Amino acid sequence: MKKLKLGEAIGKGAFGTVFRALHLDTGQVYAVKQIKTNLMNPIELRDIMSEIDLLKNLYHENIVSYQGSHRRPITSIS
């Protein structure tokens, strides 16, 4: 995973929140979408994974490019 520092939220949708992020080594700015998959039912999870697969192969000048993804294990606080 890239060395990213999350900044302010810049958008929110049905599946998650988008944050401005700064790559600490290069200064490159990214948009990072955080998705809480533990709150999704199996159909929603399938749909979001399909969306990610579509973005991996989509290249268009008016659409941001997909740079990668990272999944963290869900932890609970007792």
Q: Report the distance separating Cα 56 and Cα 59, nearest Å.
A: 8
Q: Which long-range contacts (CB under 8 A, 24 or more apart) does 69-77 make?
A: 70/1, 71/37, 74/37, 74/38
Q: Is 33 annotated as a binding residue?
A: yes
Binding residues: 33
Residues placed in the known binding site for ATP: 33
